[in-house]
Amino acid sequence: MKLPNTSFLVLSVCLPIFLSSYHLKKTVLDSIYLTDTTNVLLQEWTGPYGGVPAFNEMTVEAVKPALEQGMKMSLREIDAIANNSEAPTFENTIVAMERSGEELGRVFTYYGIYSSNMSSPEFREVQQEMAPKLSEYSSKISQNEELFKRIKAVYEQSQQEPLGGTPLEDDQQRLVELIYKRFQMNGAELDEGKKKRYAEINKELSKLYTQFSNNVLADEEGYVTYLTDNQISGLSESLISAYAKAAADRGKEGMYAVTNTRSAMDPFLTYSDERDLREKVWHTYYSRGDNGDEHDNNEIIEEILKLRRERVGLLGYDNYAEWRLQDRMAKNPENAMELLNAVWPAAIARVAEEVEDMQAVADAEGDTITIKPWDYRYYAEKVRQQKYDLDSDEVKEYLQLDKLQEAMFYVAGEIFNYNFTPVPEGKVPVFHPDVKAWEVTDKTSGEHIGLWYLDPFARTGKRSGAWATTYRRHTTFDGKETVLGSNNSNFVKPAPGQPLLISWDDATTFFHEFGHSIHYFSSNVRYPSLNGAVRDYIEFQSQLLERWLSTDLVIENYLVHYETGEPMPQELVNKIKKADTFNQGFATTEYLASALMDMKLHLTDPKNLDVDTFEKETLAAMNMPEELVMRHRTPHFSHVFSGEGYATAYYGYMWADVLTADAAEAFAEAPGGFYDKELANKLVKYLFAPQNSVEASEAYRQFRGRDAEIEALMRDRGFPVPEE
């Protein structure tokens, strides 16, 4: 997924329980304690739209004292709940917890911006210092014995037939069960000795996660490939201009800079005629965190794996994957591996076909080479042009970022009934001049839904990739909260006055991340902790939204030529659709290799583990094609090792894609196709609005009338469908 890799999000799965109600009404508890009114990061948000973060006033110097004060305030609230003399009830325990942590939640919004969007050496020092303190804070909550007694009492009451009392409503019951399970999973029932060690492990891990993440960022910032005029053969004018600007921004006027990010690397490997430079850029990118220097991550990974295994061992589990997947759709690692292994043979078989086609092109052109990983994108593009007469550069001429943004707004209006209106510059604070904001309203009633922020461009201090996040999520139990959602990308900023043209893959990712934001805006839940979804379900909504990019209404109205404004010709549209499953071997295999590696690393005994050797031997045993590499090599696998959000959960993209392919077939079969109003209403009602208030499998059955079927995924990728 695509969420920000900020340290605070990964310290403990307990944190969201207490910190998600960022902006709820003050409780009686709040008035007991003095709030630090001088630190802007703690202050209540003011201004329009129900209050917005004061991004224009935040400073790195304010982060540490704000975190320390916020943690104190939050722990006082938790202690007051835990030590309440009244008998535990849903209201005085569970609801009180939902209302706690407001000030600290606000601080985390700013902390996340510094961690993901605006990192600096000064902030990283604060981050390194605060990571163990935040872990200690989390442990003080998850291991609060009196608090857990109250939670357990409410849970046990909820499992019994009410005697003259009022039973909990469905969403309340769900909330109690989720909170009880999360405390259980995080050691609430351990004895004192094991609790102490559990907390120590979390503290050690928090330091390692921060160090891992900062090492990757250091390698992304520290390695740049500079080109001269005689080294840009094959590159488009727009790409050359963007690389020139990147060089000028780094004081290298007259040169061209390929920065060490995917958005810069990928097009270079696709179009550059300079094979030696392709190899250099490829090695630079895929060796992040693996250079044997001060930023090498291999020993850190080994230590992370050992600590994770020891920690779940305290709870009686054999391995980390077994512990982690118990509350996911997959339920256990065996089910997750079954899915990955079912697709793997078809994926690598398709790679062999793709390599054969590429080698034939290279041979025909007189290139005396054997296809290597730095050749794959380059010759795949030549095969695409030859086999489908489809030139990716020609396609890019119709993919302007601004027009794609309009297309996303159109889809949001047609399917979700949302309207996006630009917020006048200066009306809401932003943390960088590149960031813009839009107000989201209901098309029919005009009701305010929230704000959407967009931070589209790469820059120093911003982590690579694309992601979505929220600064405030929807709730209704204490007055309706509007949503503040954000999308973040790393597009190479174009030269002044030039449009930003992007690839079809990047356009798909743009729609994907917007899908996460739409999921936020669609939320219709009462309690903060019911926002979100389990990891192997949460990518479904965003992956499904990708499908609207290739619908006729989007293509005809928004994919227009950047110079002439003419719509994409039907001939080119036909070529794109005909090539829909082209290069699926590469795309599926590089992803699956990472997902399988994630799972295998957490199923093996990490004692005396050499990470580099394990990666090589595991891939060899899997018959990994030598012509490509994992999408995320282990030393820079931030999804898994800069926190715990995707640890043993990277398989979730494939799990969610089964749902995506199955749901896409439902739309394809509907009378109105992808714009069928009846099916769109069901989509919102059952799959977007409920968030985690309904178990994911049940939610999908309510939408589709049955479980999703893997055969839909195989058809979608052009792979043979297994016979029953």
218-250 pLDDT, tens per residue?
999 999 999 999 999 999 998 999 999 999 999
461 contacts: CB under 8 Å, gap ≥ 6: 117, 118, 119, 120, 221
Indicate if the pLDDT at residue 21 is higher than 60. no
Check pLDDT > 90 for residue 113.
yes
Task: Look at the domain 7-189 and name its fold.
Answer: Neurolysin; domain 3 (1.10.1370)
**CA distance from start to end of the chain:** 32
Amino acid at 388: Y
Instruction: Report pTM.
Output: 0.88
* DSSP run (H or E) holding 451: strand 448-457
What single DSSP character describes residue 25? P
5, 463 contact by CB (below 8 A): yes
Amino acid at 164: G
What's the average model confidence in pLDDT over 4-23? 35
Cβ partners under 8 Å of residue 723, min gap 6 = none
The tokens of 25 are what?
């009404």
pLDDT in tens, 521-557: 999 999 999 998 888 999 999 999 999 999 999 999 9
Flag whether pLDDT at 519 surpasses 50. Answer: yes
Per-residue pLDDT, averaged over 188-210, amounts to 96
Full DSSP string of 83-105: T-SSPP-IIIIIIHHHH--HHHH
Whole-number pLDDT of residue 165: 67
Q: Which residues contact 231 (CB under 8 A, 6 or more apart)?
A: 256, 274, 277
Phi/psi at 471 (5° precision): -100, -25
Mean pLDDT score across all residues of the chain:
92
Q: Let me know how many helices (H) and strands (E) the chain has, helices first.
A: 30, 7
The per-residue pLDDT for 495 is: 86
pLDDT at residue 22 tops 90: no
Give the mean pLDDT of 9-31: 36
Asked if 236 and 393 count as a contact pair (C-beta separation under 8 A), the reply is yes
pLDDT of residue 38: 85
Residue 579 φ then ψ, to 5°: -90, 20
Mean pLDDT computed over 150-161: 92
Specify burial of residue 636 (Cβ count, 10 A radius: 0-12, 13-18, 19+).
buried
The helix/strand/coil state of 293 is coil
pLDDT of residue 293: 96
Q: In what order do the strands lie in the sheet with 436-442?
A: 418-422, 436-442, 448-457, 483-491, 467-472
The percentage of residues in the chain with a pLDDT greater than 70, rounded to a whole number, is 94
Q: Which two structure tokens, joined as six digits, stand for 286? A: 């895929």
SS3 561: coil
Q: Hey, what are 560's tokens?
A: 């227009």
Interval 650-659 mean pLDDT: 96
Beta 448-457 vs 467-472: how paired, if at all? unpaired
CB atoms within 10 A of CB 356: 11
Res. 14: pLDDT tops 50 = no
Query: What is the pLDDT, as a whole number, of residue 556?
Result: 94
| Percentage of residues of the chain with pLDDT beyond 90 | 89
Question: Is pLDDT above 50 for 665?
Answer: yes
Of residues 645 and 621, more confidence is placed in: 621
Burial class (CB in 10 A: 0-12, 13-18, 19+), 715: middle
CA torsion 528→651→509→361, rounded to 10°?
180
pLDDT above 90 for 26? no
DSSP 333-395: HHHHHHHHHHHHHHHHHHHHHHHHHHHHHHHHTT------GGGHHHHHHHHHHHHH---HHHH
Amino acid at position 376, single letter: Y
Q: What is the pLDDT of residue 401?
A: 97
Residue 148 has pLDDT above 60, yes or no: yes
Q: Is the pLDDT of residue 162 over 60?
A: yes
- Mean pLDDT, to the nearest integer, of 270-298? 97
Locate CATH 1.10.1370.40 in the chain. Answer: 7-189
pLDDT tens column, 342-401 = 999 999 999 999 999 999 999 999 999 999 999 999 999 999 999 999 999 999 999 999
Contacts with 270 (C-beta within 8 Å, 6 or more apart), sequence order:
377, 378, 380, 381, 392, 503
